[in-house]
Amino acid sequence: MHHSTERYHSYTVSPEKQQQIYKRTLIIVVLAQLFGGAGLAAGVTVGALLAKDMLGTDSYGGVPVALLTLGSAAGAYLIGRLSQRSGRRIGLAAGFLTGGIGAAGIVYAAVADSLILLFLAFVIYGAGTATNLQARYAGTDLAKPSQRAKAISVAMVATTFGAVAGPNLVPVMGDFAEARGIPVLAGPFILSAAAFIVAGLVLFALLRPDPLRIAKAISESQKANSDSHPSAARQSLADGRRGIVVGATVMVLTQVVMIAIMTMTPIHMQHHGHGLGAVGLVIGIHIGAMYLPSLFTGILVDKLGRIPMAFAAGVTLLLAGFIAAIAPADSMTLLIAALTLLGLGWNFGLISGTALVVDATTIDNRAKTQGALDVFIAIAGASGGALSGMVVAGASYAALAISGSVLSLLLIPVGLWYRSGKTRT
């Protein structure tokens, strides 16, 4: 470990160099996320429809999303561990490349008409989704505390471009696939495979020096030069635990609500006679709302504070669920409004929750903790996706939307509990 401190010595003593690498890291993460976002979008848009076609029934529409999420949970855990040990470059590159292999597997499964292979490939494809999410942490390794939420949001804004282009390329990729004798719905995954692999190669080639390794070296040289008070250390540990719990809860709740409503909207729309183009438009706008406001959100989270923005997430999701519940199925305007708010509420929750976690972790456990928490986010998403189909089948889309908005109100007491802990200390 000490040789790394020597290797990065020039960075540990020079704040200017740290800020240089911080900026460079952000640029490279942005570049990778432009591609990563495109790889992500296909699965969300047509995964459920592809499975429905191959299974010949609606009732398992949630399965691909659940498997994808299962894969992203496993991916998040492994990428977090790998990053902690070998740095962000190796962790993130490995994740994207694995996701690319999974996407290629989905295309192959559709051609071979093999369900088992399809389901397996969806799990592997999930690694790409996990990496897309974990990349938001890479920018924070060398960020000052007052830059953290902004660093998270820059990585997320970059995802927007690909994530919005993705669903809109669905028809194009469908035609491309059909011309080659590949099932239409597998087309978007050809794009995914290429996009994830390019994102992985960009990170592998360019993300050096590694931001996490430099951050570790800085932390080690600070430890060597300081002698901290044990009671202060204990106090910060307790604050840290509370911050991790609250940050995780905020991210998990927003994820459940968002995924549940988002998963069933394309199926709800198809049942009411909307075509693939309309579905693509609504989901495209929704994904835009998930990522595009990030820059403003990041600035707000750094300026107004983590908890006020978590409250804002709860209120926004409440509104989204309410509008989705009362919207007539033929009203594109109201469906778009509901899914825009749904994306925005998720954005507020993810950035404020992520910032809470970064604030609460130290460099020695940061990547590992982030990976572990993303597992919970993924599992929350999986259960939200799987249960959403059952709720809609058993009750209705409106019932699902209302239960989502009620759930989002839990963010208020969680935030208040965090604050009560802060004031006591």
**For residue 5, pLDDT beyond 70:** no
Percent pLDDT > 90 in the chain is 64
CB 36 within 8 A of CB 135: yes
Q: Tens digits of per-residue pLDDT, 307-336? A: 999 999 999 999 999 999 999 988 999 999
Task: Give the predicted TM-score (pTM) of the model.
Answer: 0.86
Q: What is the spatial distance between Cα 156 and Cα 290, in angstroms, rounded to a whole number?
A: 9
Q: How confident is the model at residue 143 (pLDDT cuts 50, 70, 90)?
A: very high
Residue 220 has pLDDT above 80, yes or no: yes
Please say whether the dihedral angle defined by the alpha carbons of residues 53, 256, 34 and 373, taken in this order, is positive or negative.
Answer: negative
Is residue 425's pLDDT more than 70? no
CA atoms within 13 A on the CB side of 99: 43
Residue 102: its pLDDT value, please? 97
- As a whole number, mean pLDDT of residues 398-405 equals 93
Mean pLDDT of 199-219: 95
Q: How many CB atoms lie within 10 A of CB 304?
A: 13
Top mean pLDDT of 23-32, 39-48, 279-288, 381-390 is at 23-32
User: 53 or 61: whose pLDDT is higher?
Assistant: 53
The whole-number average pLDDT for the span 15-27 is: 94
Per-residue burial over 235-260, b if 16 or more Cβ lie within 10 Å, else e, is: eeeebbebbbbbbbbbbbbbbbbbbb
The model's pLDDT over 251-262, given as tens digits with 9 standing for 90+, comes to: 999 999 999 999
Give the CATH architecture of domain 2-220+233-424: Up-down Bundle (1.20)
The per-residue pLDDT of the chain, averaged, comes to 90
Considering the chain, what percentage of its residues have pLDDT values greater than 70? 95
* Contact call for residues 339 and 45 (beta carbons, < 8 A): no
Kindly state the helix (H) or strand (E) to which residue 93 belongs, with its residue range. Answer: helix 88-112
Given this model, what pLDDT does residue 183 score?
92
Q: pLDDT of 85-118, one tens digit each?
A: 999 999 999 999 999 999 999 999 999 999 999 9
Assign 383 a pLDDT band (cuts: 50, 70, 90). confident
Query: Contact, 37 vs 158, CB < 8 A?
Result: yes
pLDDT, position 69: 81
Query: What is the pLDDT at residue 127?
Result: 95
Domain range summary for the chain, segments of one domain joined by +? 2-220+233-424
Position 381 scores a pLDDT of: 82
C-alpha 112/C-alpha 96 separation (Å) is 24
Q: What are phi and psi of 396, to 5 degrees?
A: -165, 170
pLDDT at 228: 62
**What pLDDT sits at residue 424?**
64
First to last CA, the chain: 35
3-state helix, strand, coil in the chain (%, to 5): 85, 0, 15
Using CA of residue 219, residue 220, residue 225, residue 231, what is the dihedral sign? positive
What is the mean pLDDT of the segment spanning 40-44? 72
Cβ distance 397 to 324 under 8 Å?
Answer: yes
Of 163, 211, 165, which Cα lies nearest the Cα of 28? 211
Tell me what pLDDT residue 66 has: 78
- CA-CA distances (angstroms) from residue 303 to 150, 183, 299, 352, 413? 10, 49, 6, 11, 22
Quick: pLDDT tens for 264-273. Answer: 898 899 889 8
| pLDDT for 229 beyond 80 | no
Q: Is residue 2 scored above 60 in pLDDT?
A: no
Q: Collapsing DSSP states into helix, strand and coil, what is residue 304?
A: helix
Is residue 8 very low, low, confident or very high in pLDDT (cuts 50, 70, 90)?
Answer: confident
- pLDDT per residue as tens digits for the range 290-313: 988 998 999 999 999 999 999 999
